[in-house]
Amino acid sequence: MPGGPAGEDKEGSVREDIKETIFYGLLEKDFGARTKAQDLARLIGIELMNEGDRAGELLPEEQSLCARYLVGRSILREAVKLLVGKGMLSVRRGIGTRIEPRQSWSAFDPEILGWQLSVADPSFWRDLDETRAIIEFSAIRLAAVRAEVDQKNLLSQAVHIMRENAETVETVIAARALFHSTLLKSTANKLLEGTTALVFANLVFHFNLQPHNGEERQLIEHYAALYKAIDQNKPKLAEDVMQRLLVSGRANQERK
């Protein structure tokens, strides 16, 4: 395991921590008041993400880990249990605690997605960009056909909030989250709706915490056009606008 103590961050990581907090807020989940075991699970999880491919390796023995993290055995075991539940570790009697391959990790687990926001692994976010595009292109076609009146009203409300608060970061990102969660609900497909955390994580990752007003307003107009296409039940037009929205969002992130 790496040697840096908990809380020791590289320059620039404050923004990533803020994004992790914003993400949990959008999900309306409070991971801020974690138990010691949950906090340790987060620390070990982030370290594993930062270390590259260590699949198949064993963690050090309990005594060594307790000394390294300054915790008792009960807290360590509970943290390991949490990570086993997320597919990151496995415990084998007589062998030890093994690091599982990344494809076994519960990649869409809300906490794992949040931890990734404090790691910013380029390969993970590339994969998530592609996955989100697949999900939302499918979702937008269904939403343009299936969205109900109250859902269309929520989409319109989200656009209005963005337009009226373009310079207020917290309000804009909350309005975007409202738009995307409503979009997924509008599909009337429970499996697509279940990808909300994934979409939120990608949304937060690409969100510029200090946006240029021109860029932000351009994105807002993409949202307005997307709402209009859904309201008019035009799936092909909605898909074209979604493509522009995703490209613009990634471009803003790259210019930061």
Q: What is the DSSP string of 149-193?
A: HHHHHHHHHHHHHHHHTTT-HHHHHHHHHHHHHHHHHTTT-HHHH
* Of 14 and 204, more confident: 204
Which alpha helices (DSSP H) does 90-148 contain, by range? Answer: 110-117, 122-146
Whether 237 has a pLDDT exceeding 50, the answer reads yes
The region of weakest confidence among 28-32, 99-103, 153-157, 206-210 is 28-32
Determine the Cα–Cα distance for residues 233 and 24; give it in Å rounded to an integer. Answer: 32
pTM for the structure as a whole: 0.82
Q: What tens digit of pLDDT does each residue of 25-83 get?
A: 898 865 556 789 999 999 999 999 988 888 999 999 999 999 999 999 999 999 999 99
- Give the per-residue pLDDT at 118: 86
Q: Where are the domains of the chain?
A: 13-104, 121-254
Q: What tens digit of pLDDT does each residue of 111-134 get?
A: 999 999 888 788 888 999 999 999
Strand, coil or helix: 97: strand
Which CATH number applies to 13-104? 1.10.10.10
Determine the Cα–Cα distance for residues 140 and 233; give it in Å rounded to an integer. Answer: 10
Asked whether the domain spanning 121-254 has the same topology as the one spanning 13-104, the reply is: no
Map tokens 């709706």 to a residue.
193
- End-to-end CA gap in the chain: 32
Q: Which class in CATH covers the domain with range 121-254? A: mainly alpha
* DSSP β-bridge partners for residue 97: 91
